[in-house]
Amino acid sequence: MIYTVTFNPSLDYIVTVKDFTCGVVNRTCDEIIYPGGKGINVSMVLKNLGYENTALGFLSGFTGEKIQALLKEKGVATDFIPVETGMSRINVKLRSNEETEINGQGPKIEEKHIQELYRKLDELKDGDVLVLAGSIPDVMPGSMYMDIMKHLSDRKLKIVVDATKDLLVNVLEYHPFLIKPNNHELGEIFNVTLEKKDEVVEYAKRLQGKGARNVLVSMAGEGAVLVTENGEVYKADAPKGILKNSVGAGDSMVAGFLAGYLEKENYKDAFAMGVCTGSASAFSEELATKEEVAALLEKNKYLFE
């Protein structure tokens, strides 16, 4: 079974305004509301690709109820922990001449809620996949990802971590199955600027040397790089297409990689699936569908030969 954890889920309210101007009344010309959060994005794309999974995390208030309802509509199984104080956040993304984001805070998660999450994680069985994705709310320990991996270190799980800086570096000693920084996040860890794939490979191998089994690095329009535990290195340019929505593209790459690996247990195929799934989401107003991914894979086979 696949499980995802999103510590701070959101309702993403995406509005388009022509020529947005501060200080006056602006009217939208397009609106979209969907459940957000990196782990939730992974869950939704996995479901789109035909892989059942369960989304874990914390929800609160009327916004939490709406997040749960929207996921149910999309067929995603959930097992969220209710939080009594506060509400799940609303993230506003304003599209106009420039793109602006206003992100909410989220509910007050307490120690009892964290312990309930551990009880749920204790139910995972050998062979299960766990995806830890996104930032940690300020009300929670900054060591949360590391604490979870330490807690589960006696299990034979495939744990995926998609996080930044210390959240990512601190888990490496527990040998995550996959980590997925982008090239900018990878560069921040080592205080360098990484723009070329060969440079990315060098520093991805450094993270591997610290304990990561597989390192997948997204590079937006420049493509992606994968360094595997078998010593293989894969590089690919990004498929061509019109960028419509960058939100969730990296999460979609994680979901596609997992789907590809679980189907064929082959890192090359997993890499191709990941790259095309991330691109399919970037080329769509919503997250990638199975049909969109299949079309990109067929059209871009040459990128992975």
Q: Which residues are catalytic?
A: 251
Percent helix, percent strand, percent coil in the chain, to nearest 5: 40, 20, 40
CA dihedral of 251, 160, 162, 96, whole degrees rounded to 10: 10
- Cβ-in-10-Å burial (0-12, 13-18, 19+) of 66 comes to middle
Q: Quick one: tokens of 295? A: 């079309």
DSSP 81-134: EE-SSS--EEEEEEESSSEEEE--------HHHHHHHHHHHTT--TT-EEEEES
Report the candidate in 190, 193, 267, 206 with the shortest Cα–Cα distance to residue 235: 267
Helices and strands (H, E) in the chain, number of each type: 10, 14
Other beta carbons within 10 angstroms of residue 58's beta carbon come to 27
Strand-pair partners of 130: 3, 159
C-alpha 265/C-alpha 278 separation (Å) is 19
C-alpha 120/C-alpha 52 separation (Å) is 17
Other beta carbons within 10 angstroms of residue 53's beta carbon come to 23
